[in-house]
Amino acid sequence: MRSIRARTLLLVLGLLSLSMSAISYKSYRDAQHEIEELFDAQLAQSARLLQGMLGRAMPVAERQALQQALDQALQARQEPGDPAQRNGHVYEGKLAFQVLDEQGQMLLQSASAPPDLLPQLVAELPPRDQATPLASLAEQLSGYHRVAQNGHQWRLFILRDRQSKHLILAAEREDVRGELVQKIALRSLLPDLVGLPLLALLVWLAIGWGLRPLQRMAESIKARAPDNLAPLVFDPLPQELEPMGAAINRLLLQVNQLLDQEKRFIADAAHELRTPLAVLRIHAQNALEAPDPADRREALRQLGAGVDRATRVVAQLLTLARLDPNVVQLAMREVNLLDYLRNDLAELTPLALERHQELSLEADETADYHLLADGPSLGTLLQNLVGNAVQYTPDGGRIQVQLEAQADAIVLRVQDSGPGVSEAQREKLFERFYRLGEGQGAGLGLSIVLRVVELHRGTIALCESPLGGLEVAVRLPRSRA
């Protein structure tokens, strides 16, 4: 189910139906119990009224006259057109009473009373009690009982008159109670059954009203042009939707930054590669047109050097793009900076030897040089620092790398004996494509170094080297806390 409104409506109506069913069932059971209590009280009251009426000794003739009068009253109630019928009730035939003496002989009964109520009750007693005389069972029979007679269940109340030794039975058919309980339950459930569809409609409208801010947000997003990455402006949002709106605008900002970075990378690449490619074309053309083999070899040599320079430019541009703070995800782990530095110096030593330069490392072997860092980007930092020093130091010069372990950080210093950089120009060295002299780089080395230092939350400083050239000091914290 993909609709939030439908899911919420189904859940609300389901819970509402379950709760209403539970409440209705509890009401039905409570009503049934109270009605049974009321009817039991009426049975007991009827039996005690009969006890009061028949408590004195009554001659047989008078008792027969009373029985005849009861029969005539019942017959008159059943005659069509009788005015008494209009004042009667359909339940009258389902109410009965009997009066028996201590031997079980019928003394008086209503015409609606089944004749075998008491024998049926005695027959349902345990076998050991069925042969016991009725007079001895009188105490056991007193109280409430249920008896099945002629396909109907009867509720009995038996009262024993201690003076006259009579047993008075007041009986009522169970379907009287059942019909009343059903009517009460139906009347209590009918409003719920009728009101549930109306309630569903109201809940549907209420949920729709509650989800309207979400619908307006969705419509605003759908109406946005694909090339429009400006932050979305919403009406005042509910508290639950504010994080979603902020997340969408943050995502749009990140996408915008990524596109700007891509455009900047393309512009930088086009700007920096335009001249090398033009130079390559010239060298290639010179090699094709040179009649002298020496001139051709020189043109090819220049062509190879141009290819190397273009390769370095592309590599540095890709490195700079990879280290963008908006997209880079550093894999921080504990590394030994001294081991990294030794490996990188071993790779760069041939370049220094080719130019007859002295490349040395000064570090206290007993110190701890462990820190949390991203290995690949740390290697990029070391290669650019030492590579720049090799490139700008004259042939036969010196390059000295120092490593100092502090309590909370490690300081790396790269010193050279090159021409150095004036204090006014040092800050410009961190700008992209800024170069001093006729170096073979693209002017991106220190920009890459600065980016790596920022990602590791370190600091970098440029100053005059004790060797006469430039010193680059990088301070890297041991942890990012």
Report, as an integer, the average pLDDT of 392-397.
86
**For strand 398-405 and strand 358-363, is the pairing parallel, antiparallel, or unpaired?**
parallel
Q: Is the residue at 212 inside a domain?
A: no
Same domain, 158 and 254: no
The residue out of 271, 299, 322 marking a domain boundary is: 322
Which of 322, 352, 379 delimits the end of a domain? 322
What mean pLDDT, rounded, does the chain reach? 76
Query: Which range is least confidently modeled, 98-112, 207-221, 308-322?
Result: 308-322
Q: What is the mean pLDDT of residues 145-174?
A: 83
Q: For residue 134, give every residue at least 6 positions away whose Cβ sits within 8 Å of its Cβ, in sequence order, or none.
A: 100, 102, 103, 104, 122, 167
> Is the pLDDT reported for residue 207 higher than 50?
yes
Residues 344 and 470 in one domain: yes
pLDDT of residue 439: 47
Residue with tokens 């074309």: 281
Quick one: 399 and 360 in the same domain?
A: yes
Select from 146, 162, 184 the last residue of a domain.
184
In a domain, 151, yes or no: yes
> CATH number of the domain that 383 lies in?
3.30.565.10
In-domain check, residue 234: no
User: Is there a domain that residue 227 lies in?
Assistant: no
Output the pLDDT for position 442: 44
Tell me how many domains the chain contains. Answer: 3
Mean pLDDT lowest among 119-133, 236-250, 326-340, 447-461: 119-133
Burial (CB count <10 Å: 0-12, 13-18, 19+), residue 114: middle
pTM metric for this prediction:
0.44
Does a structural domain hold residue 273? yes
Q: Are residues 269 and 177 in the same domain?
A: no
What confidence score (pLDDT) does residue 480 get? Answer: 64
What whole-number distance in Å separates Cα of residue 154 and Cα of residue 112?
12
Helices 375-392 and 445-455, axial angle in degrees (round to 10): 150
Question: Do 390 and 270 sit in the same domain of this protein?
Answer: no
Q: What is the distance between the alpha carbons of residues 376 and 479, in angstroms, rounded to a whole number? A: 17
**Cα–Cα nearest to 319, from 414, 410, 383:** 383
Going by pLDDT thresholds of 50, 70 and 90, the confidence category of residue 440 is very low
Kindly state whether residues 359 and 306 are assigned to the same domain: no
The residues that bridge with 145 in the sheet, in sequence order, are 156
Which of 30-34, 93-97, 338-342: highest mean pLDDT?
338-342
pLDDT digits over 295-331, tens only? 788 878 877 877 776 676 666 566 656 656 555 556 7
Same-domain pairing of 298 and 375: no
Q: Is the pLDDT of residue 81 over 60?
A: no
Q: Is residue 404 part of a domain?
A: yes
Q: pLDDT grade, residue 126 (50/70/90)? A: low
Residue 193 lies in a domain: no
Using an 8 Å Cβ cutoff, are 164 and 55 in contact? yes
Confidence (pLDDT) at 323: 58
Containing structural domain, residue 316? 242-322
Indicate whether 423 and 336 sit together in one domain.
yes
Looking at the structure, do residues 317 and 372 belong to the same domain, yes or no? no
Q: What single DSSP character describes residue 349?
A: H
- Cα separation of 215 and 235, whole Å? 12
pLDDT at 316: 58
Residue 253 lies in a domain: yes
Give the pLDDT confidence score for residue 441 in this predicted structure.
46
34 and 169 both lie in a single domain: yes
Residues 303 and 337 in one domain: no
Kindly state the average pLDDT of the residues 22-30: 81
Tens of pLDDT, residues 337-386: 888 888 878 877 877 888 888 888 888 888 888 888 877 777 777 877 88
pLDDT tier for residue 132 given thresholds of 50, 70 and 90: low
Residues 219-227, mean pLDDT to the nearest whole number: 80
Highest mean predicted confidence (pLDDT) among 39-48, 88-97, 104-113: 39-48
Mean pLDDT (whole number) for 166-189? 78
The pLDDT of 273-278, averaged and rounded, is 62
Q: Average pLDDT, stretch 79-93?
A: 53
**Claim to verify: residue 298 and residue 373 sit in the same structural domain:** no
Residue among 152, 73, 144 at smallest CA distance from 110: 73
Q: What is the pLDDT of residue 335?
A: 84
